[in-house]
Structure 1
Amino acid sequence: MPTGTILVADDDAAIRTVLNQALSRAGYTVRLTSNATTLWRWVSSGDGDLVITDVVMPDENIFDVLPRIRKMRPDLPVVVMSAQNTFMTAIRASEKGAYEYLPKPFDLKELTTIVGRAMSEPKGRPASPAEETNEHIPLVGRSPAMQEIYRVLARLMQTDLTVMISGESGTGKELVAKALHDYGKRRNGPFVAINMAAIPRDLIEAELFGHEKGAFTGAQARSSGRFEQADGGTLFLDEIGDMPMEAQTRLLRVLQQGEYTTVGGRTPIKTDVRIIAATNKDLSHLIQQGLFREDLFYRLNVVPIRLPALRERLEDIGDLVRHFFMLAEQEGLPSKQIDQAALERLRRHRWPGNVRELENLIRRLAALYPQDVITTSLIDQELSQPAPSSLNGEDASQNLGDSVERYLNGYFDNFGEALPPPGLYHRILREVEYPLISAALAATRGNQIRAAELLGVNRNTLRKKVKDLDIQVIRSSR
């Protein structure tokens, strides 16, 4: 039978009652308070074997109390609960030294399991560093799916564990990787990202590990690779499923031995990087096909994180919309609001492009419409836009020109005598570039050299556009 005293601090009487009943039935002695002052008096007197506390208390924020608790009683586990279910709440709980963070409403069975684990662990658990964080929120959403991701990320911040992020295109894999870096112990080092799908397969090894002068045709000088550039920081390997087998073998050796050689080089170079990989593919299926090394998968998949598709977290759409409108306003676009009916219309959409598709929609709404409040009719108008026509010669080009002209004429008519906000050229150009480049890559089955020729642009220009626009390059055999 469990024993020990648990201190519960929450200004909600109903929560105190529920916790008292559940923990008492489990065999613990429970002491209840509605304020942080009493909690601190109990802790400073040496009372209690574990604390369960809300963040926002009537007299003090618990994040201001936690450092004092950790200093006075570093072995006392503190479980933090909060209805402010944001990424930053989870991160601050971890950085301030909380044993665990639970979003409200919490699962009572999960809470009792956490209590049992904390009470049975040996004392002397090291405190997390209490460092202040930037209040900018890199991840948005309060759905249960996102809450679990926040908790996992909070546990990983002070580690160097290799992480594998999986999820559909547009779910925010690089955003999660950047958050792991920016709020982790390597935050003062570089964050270097490389997209395997955006680099010619024969150049990936040189991009990763660098090359010596004369290593191959065109190598006129020594060049550093991404591992060297990321030394002391984080290397993000995006779309790892597109890495060719030869590069996989070299990467495995780096993960095993902690060193690498440049292409054309002989001297081993020690590396100190944290690896975060990401994929939108089923790597187990690639392993079965002989396209991905199983031993490399296990080296990379130390901590797996699956990002939910937007259709799996529709309750987050309101927060995401407000967040994207705020970002658009910070960039100089007009302030916008959205009515409830329009939000419901967004929740009924399937969102094949996930959060990226929603963000692009919100930017268009902020840039192209003069209305202060976005209504269902505007949402319907945007979501019913047909996909870009395939490229089939002069007729298609003329039809596209006519469509763009009609669209822009209607857009200017909406403003009446006023003019739209500055920067229209670049906003419209970006909207056109994405489907144009995507269509060219699809037509050439992901061959960027042929796509560049088709578009009439330099290959390096195309590669930069693919990276800047975050276009997923999917290769397939004929």
Structure 2
Amino acid sequence: MPHTHAHKPRILVVDDDADMLRLLSLRLAASGYEITTAGSAEEALAQLELARPQLVLSDVRLPGRDGLALFDEVRTRHPALPVILLTAHGTIPDAVEATARGVFTYLTKPYDAQELLDKVQQALALSAPAPASPHASETWRSAIVSRSARMADLLAEAHMVARSDASVLLLGDSGSGKELLARAIHRASPRAARPFVAVNCGAIPEALLESELFGHVKGAFTDAVSHHKGLFQAADGGTLLLDEIGDMPLALQVKLLRVLQERAVRPVGAAQATAVDVRIISATHRDLEEAMAAGLFREDLFYRLNVVTLQLPTLAERREDIPLLANHFLHTLAAKYGKRLSGFSPEALKALAAAPWPGNVRQLYNVVEQACALSTTPLVPLTLVQRALRTPTVQVLSLAEARQRFERGYLVDLLKMTDGSVADAARLAQRNRTEFYRLLQKHGLTPGHFKGEGDAGPPVAEERQG
């Protein structure tokens, strides 16, 4: 079926044979696809980031790096992007091996035109929707503000994963947005109408965490004055986010593993287990493989949780999102504080874009909130951003301006020290009086103003600020 212009899937076609490249392009374009071409693997990898295709169609025989090596690189960068290989008879064994490694399919040359179109349609049906399409429904991820290509890839994978019931492990530094992504996956899943429940495994004392997760019955312990449903039961039919799973105590890891295996929870003090239907998303900023090696995290639990891994980039790795996020937060916070703020000054926005952001998106939000709370002008100035970032205010001067400012301050200090005596000040400066008077005149300084003023006199303050 031809595609409408608004929903044209993008295909990257790779072949070093110019005639074959033209033929493939014309045939696919006639079927309603948007085509980008490349004559080598290197050119294809460059186009990959620019064109954002939904499918790669490549010949196996390419100059330099071949189609199989191109597939390996595509799989590393974009695991959800399907690849179809075109192969001559001599490379069929290689293509078969590639299919076992994850290539969507291969077609032998000369290929059948209808079979090619059928395979392309099948591959596109299984691939993630184009995240950049302005016509695609984006409500599931509306809370995630981004124009970053890296985030687009991550969201495409997240959208694919959401359709399944597979456990997902979200990795990323603190403040990078793991809970936002977990909520987005839940909203894109068949469980969207059911509860989403989040628990921070590192924020609840070990003695209370078991009861919080699995619940307890009345009388199970001293303070158990009534029955209490745990978070697993609260999330029944929906999604449970186990945030900072790397901080969960070993003893509780064993009980969690049992729940995941049996799909049932037994509240503390209860004799019977209760069946639960919960999709698990876990998140951590820790290196779980390192924790396993140190005996701090169970290997069997790791593989239960880590069916699909999604790695969130740091804010520094998606700097193109900083102005977008900063303005988004500013407009949200301006409404909260009842302020009329229109944006950031160019210098302030430049400072935000260049900051290191160890605290990621959460830190950016806090910086914008502080600047918003203190701003008295429609445009947030650089000074407020610097203050919120806790960076010293640096005024960039030309060399001539810096030298003049230093020279004037130096002369003021000499006149203060010598109580306005030009003779004494000139001697300390190791300059003759005539030259010293010329310097004073250049900077508009009158020695008489410093007589009897001492170090704290008002005229001195005025002179230094002038």
What's the TM-score once normalised by structure 1's chain length? 0.59
CA shift, 1:267, in A, is 1.2
Q: 2:372 aligns to what?
A: 366
Query: Among residues 231, 251, 259, which one is paired with 1:246 in the alignment?
Result: 251
Query: Among residues 24, 28, 33, which one is paired with 1:28 in the alignment?
Result: 24
Match of 2:166, SS? coil
After superposition, the Cα gap between the structure-2 partners of 1:22 and 1:278, relative to the gap in structure 1 and judged at 3 Å, is farther
User: Could you tell me how far apart the structure 2 residues matched to 1:290 and 1:367 are?
Assistant: 46
After superposition, the Cα gap between the structure-2 partners of 1:244 and 1:121, relative to the gap in structure 1 and judged at 3 Å, is farther
Please give the residue correspondences for 1:144-155 in structure 2 after superposition, counting only pairs within 5 Å. 144-155=149-160
Instruction: Look up the equivalent residue of 1:152 and give its one-letter code.
Output: E
User: Could you tell me how far apart the structure 2 residues matched to 1:23 and 1:201 are?
Assistant: 67
RMSD: 3.8
Instruction: Look up the equivalent residue of 1:322 and give its one-letter code.
Output: N
CA shift, 1:52, in A, is 2.8
**Does residue 52 of the first structure (1) align with residue 58 of the second (2)?**
no
Q: Is the CA contact (8 Å cut-off) linking 2:144 and 2:180 kept in structure 1?
A: yes
User: Could you tell me how far apart the structure 1 residues matched to 2:305 and 2:24 are?
Assistant: 41
Query: Among residues 256, 259, 262, which one is paired with 1:257 in the alignment?
Result: 262
**Does residue 350 of the first structure (1) align with residue 356 of the second (2)?**
yes
Instruction: Look up the equivalent residue of 2:50 and give its one-letter code.
Output: P
Q: Is the CA contact (8 Å cut-off) linking 2:128 and 2:160 kept in structure 1?
A: no
Q: Is the CA contact (8 Å cut-off) linking 2:11 and 2:33 kept in structure 1?
A: no
Match of 1:278, SS? strand
Q: 1:156 aligns to what?
A: 161
Instruction: Look up the equivalent residue of 1:262 and give its one-letter code.
Output: P
Instruction: Look up the equivalent residue of 2:331 and give its one-letter code.
Output: M
Q: Which deviates the most, 313-322 or 223-232?
A: 313-322
CA-to-aligned-CA distance 1:102-125 (integer Å, 9 cap, x gap): 997226796336362375489596
User: Could you tell me how far apart the structure 1 residues matched to 2:305 and 2:11 are?
Assistant: 43
Give structure 2 stretches of 5+ with no counterpart.
Answer: 37-46, 59-81, 85-103, 106-115, 130-134, 393-466
Q: 2:196 aligns to what?
A: 191
After superposition, the Cα gap between the structure-2 partners of 1:195 and 1:108, relative to the gap in structure 1 and judged at 3 Å, is closer
Instruction: Look up the equivalent residue of 1:355 and give its one-letter code.
Output: V
Instruction: Look up the equivalent residue of 1:243 and give its one-letter code.
Output: M
Instruction: Look up the equivalent residue of 2:326 and give its one-letter code.
Output: V
CA shift, 1:153, in A, is 1.3
Instruction: Look up the equivalent residue of 2:21 and give its one-letter code.
Output: R
Give structure 1 stretches of 5+ with no counterpart.
Answer: 34-41, 43-47, 55-78, 80-101, 387-478
| Matched positions, count | 319
Q: Is the CA contact (8 Å cut-off) linking 1:7 and 1:31 kept in structure 2?
A: no
Q: 1:137 aligns to what?
A: 142
Q: Is the CA contact (8 Å cut-off) linking 2:14 and 2:21 kept in structure 1?
A: no
User: Could you tell me how far apart the structure 1 residues matched to 2:286 and 2:127 are?
Assistant: 38
Match of 2:216, SS? coil
Match of 2:198, SS? strand
**Does residue 207 of the first structure (1) align with residue 203 of the second (2)?**
no
Q: Which deviates the most, 187-196 or 115-124?
A: 115-124
Instruction: Look up the equivalent residue of 1:377 and give its one-letter code.
Output: T
Match of 1:164, SS? strand
Q: Which deviates the most, 342-351 or 298-307?
A: 342-351
User: Could you tell me how far apart the structure 1 residues matched to 2:7 and 2:267 are?
Assistant: 60
Q: Percent identity?
A: 38
Query: Among residues 323, 327, 330, which one is paired with 2:332 in the alignment?
Result: 327
Q: Is the CA contact (8 Å cut-off) linking 2:374 and 2:384 kept in structure 1?
A: no
After superposition, the Cα gap between the structure-2 partners of 1:360 and 1:258, relative to the gap in structure 1 and judged at 3 Å, is same
**Does residue 266 of the first structure (1) align with residue 266 of the second (2)?**
no
Instruction: Look up the equivalent residue of 2:258 and give its one-letter code.
Output: R
CA-to-aligned-CA distance 1:13-57 (integer Å, 9 cap, x gap): xx9998999894297363476xxxxxxxx7xxxxx4xx5349xxx
Instruction: Look up the equivalent residue of 1:215 and give its one-letter code.
Output: A
Instruction: Look up the equivalent residue of 2:241 and give its one-letter code.
Output: F
**Does residue 301 of the first structure (1) align with residue 301 of the second (2)?**
no
CA-to-aligned-CA distance 1:62-109 (integer Å, 9 cap, x gap): xxxxxxxxxxxxxxxxx9xxxxxxxxxxxxxxxxxxxxxx99722679
User: Could you tell me how far apart the structure 2 residues matched to 1:183 and 1:333 are?
Assistant: 35
**Does residue 234 of the first structure (1) align with residue 239 of the second (2)?**
yes
**Does residue 291 of the first structure (1) align with residue 296 of the second (2)?**
yes
State which structure, 1 or 2, has the greater radius of gyration over its C-alpha atoms.
2
Q: 1:112 aligns to what?
A: 57
**Does residue 171 of the first structure (1) align with residue 176 of the second (2)?**
yes
Q: 1:442 aligns to what?
A: none
Query: Among residues 301, 323, 326, which one is paired with 1:318 in the alignment?
Result: 323
What's the TM-score once normalised by structure 2's chain length? 0.60
CA shift, 1:131, in A, is 10
CA shift, 1:340, in A, is 2.7
User: Could you tell me how far apart the structure 1 residues matched to 2:12 and 2:311 are?
Assistant: 36
